[in-house]
Amino acid sequence: MLASERFNVLIQWWVKSHGDGSCDYVRVRSSDQQELEWVEGSHLPPQMPLLKHRFTVSFEAAQQRQQNLLAMGFKPGQPLF
């Protein structure tokens, strides 16, 4: 997880790469320990990223979703943009 000390924000990226150079991504961001912002999208450089879903989840729900991401082939990764 990446941390920004200035704003006390934690960010984690999950990435699933495809053979054509595109990827699906999930960005999880937390500014408190109650809820997390969950953002799902796609990216094919050099185009702008496509945002598919954006919502908030509880910390416990995010843990279950991250296990599902691993099962679907996503891996923790570096920021895409």
Sketch the domain layout of the chain as residue ranges: 2-75
Note the helical H segments in 1-79.
59-71
Give the tokens for residue 38. 């969950």
Quick check: 38 and 55 in contact, CB under 8 A? Answer: yes
Residue 2 CA to residue 47 CA, distance in Å, equals 25
The per-residue pLDDT for range 50-76, each reduced to its tens digit, is 999 999 999 889 889 999 999 999 999
Predicted model pTM: 0.82
Taking the C-alpha atoms of residue 80 and residue 15, their distance in angstroms, rounded to an integer, is 9
On the question of a cis peptide bond just before residue 46, with omega within 30 degrees of 0, the verdict is yes
Q: Is the pLDDT of residue 4 over 60?
A: no
